[in-house]
Amino acid sequence: MHDKPFISESKIRLALLHRVGDICVIPLSAYFCHGLVYQSLSLSNFLGLSVAISVLIALWLYPAIGLYRAWRGESTGKELLNAAQAWTFNFLILSFLLYFTKNADSARIEFFSAWFMAGLFSLLGVRAAIRALLNNARRKGRNKTHVVVVGDNGLATSTIQNLKKAEWAGFSVKGYFGEGEIAGERRLGGFHEINEYLESDKDAVDQIWIAMPLSKEKEINQILEELRFATQDVRLIPGIEGFRLINNSVAQIADMPVINLQVSPMTGINRFVKAVEDRVLAGIILTLISPIMIALAIGVKLSSPGPVFYRQERVSRAGKPFMMYKFRSMPVDTEKNGVQWGNAGSKATNKFGQFIRKTSLDELPQFLNVLFGDMSIVGPRPERTQFVNEFKHDIDGYMQKHMVKAGITGWAQINGWRGDTDLQKRVECDLYYINNWSVWMDVKIIFMTISRVFRDQNAA
């Protein structure tokens, strides 16, 4: 029999430990920052109410986004990213409430900025400490989940290898059941011997992983029949890695198990948080840059005849068209002979037009599109309808980038794929963003865009 873990990772106990730590971080970090900023630990009624609201948001939000899901296969980095994202979501919602109730004055912004950073690092510290204790226990052979793999094909081999490589996950592979041989691995018996092995020592195995492709439905059913008396968790590795997967997961829908192969991450709570992120940031940014936009509008008007803004139909989420705004940097009749595809800035007829295209200042009105809900601040760059209809036939995965709203900037742009660059590479970057989206990824892209936009000579 294997040792019982000295640190219980049952869903209830671990979730309780995390909940207590997560909630305690909120008021403690607030008091710390209040003392730092105001040299006092006595919170005003308003700030005390803000802390209470943040706690209430956390009690609702954190479970809703799966922060207390007890799944040991998640890496430390992923867990910390999820925790950071949850705290950021919390603060975005709180900021949204403060901004639209006109309570975000400069003095309070100093406190809230400090509170956000202190709360973030405290939360990550608590999470990292708990995970460090668990990882240390696993390295010493404690807190292990004992697994047997069923299968003898390449999929079973890769499953065993991946479980062994992920030491931090705390899996111990006891061997495999199959009719063939897997080099270097312990064969426990054939498929028909699984139940006998489990009955011999019920505590020897915690989980059974069936590593077989979906094409072997008959064999999988036979194995499940063999396991009809088993009380262990049973998992299936179906071998779908060869498919183009976007935000893949497994769900239970209408009493049916469903494998999500290509699903937009912007559903449920994620969609709400992304909308709050976009609206709050767009509102703040438009307020801050309004003097710049007025100056640019005057510059456009004085530098060439015609309207200040240039409206152009682009395609966003689900292939829906919308009118995108830019400061006009080209002559009004540039496309009198039809839609054209050309180098950035090549059609600007004056130095001012060249300047705003080169520095991407012509893109600033798109924050209005974000405020109206047509675009996001971060997402795949939108293309014109005519080109979408052309590219979707020529570029692999092109339409999948429309699973989220189009953005002002994106993963492709900060990696140098802007303007007249390799469209396939741009799409690959867009799909990477969709598959790995998080609020922190958005924050990273925003800051990298700010640092690079004035150096990039190839504006989109």
Per-residue pLDDT of the chain in tens (460 residues, 90 and over written 9)? 444 444 444 456 666 888 899 999 999 999 999 998 888 888 888 888 899 999 999 999 888 877 877 666 677 888 888 899 899 889 988 888 877 776 656 557 788 889 999 999 999 999 999 888 877 777 777 777 889 999 988 899 999 998 888 877 788 899 999 988 888 899 999 998 998 898 887 668 889 999 998 889 999 999 999 888 888 889 999 888 777 788 888 877 777 778 888 889 998 878 988 998 899 899 999 999 999 999 999 999 998 888 999 999 999 998 999 999 999 988 776 666 656 655 544 555 678 888 888 888 999 999 999 999 999 999 999 999 999 999 999 998 899 999 999 999 999 999 988 766 688 999 999 999 999 998 889 989 998 998 876 565 444 4
Closest alpha carbon to 187 in 213, 163, 152, 236:
152
C-alpha 83/C-alpha 86 separation (Å) is 5
Contact between 160 and 149 (Cβ < 8 Å): yes
Q: Quote the pLDDT of residue 14.
A: 65
C-alpha 319/C-alpha 314 separation (Å) is 9
Q: Quote the pLDDT of residue 9.
A: 46
Q: Quote the pLDDT of residue 371.
A: 95
Provide the whole-model pTM.
0.73
C-alpha 392/C-alpha 112 separation (Å) is 45
**Which pair of structure tokens corresponds to residue 94?**
């709180």
Contact between 152 and 216 (Cβ < 8 Å): no
User: Terminal CA-to-CA distance of the chain, rounded, Å?
Assistant: 63
Q: Quote the pLDDT of residue 251.
A: 77
Q: Quote the pLDDT of residue 1.
A: 44
Whether the CA torsion 129, 132, 138, 140 is positive or negative: it is negative
Residue range(s) in the chain whose domain bears CATH number 3.40.50.720: 145-239
CA distances from 304 to 290, 293, 378 (A): 21, 17, 31
User: Which CATH number is associated with domain 145-239?
Assistant: 3.40.50.720
Paired residues of 407 in beta bridges: 376
Contact between 418 and 456 (Cβ < 8 Å): yes
Q: Quote the pLDDT of residue 73.
A: 65
**Which pair of structure tokens corresponds to residue 167?**
């030491």
C-alpha 155/C-alpha 70 separation (Å) is 26
Looking at residue 244, its amino acid is R
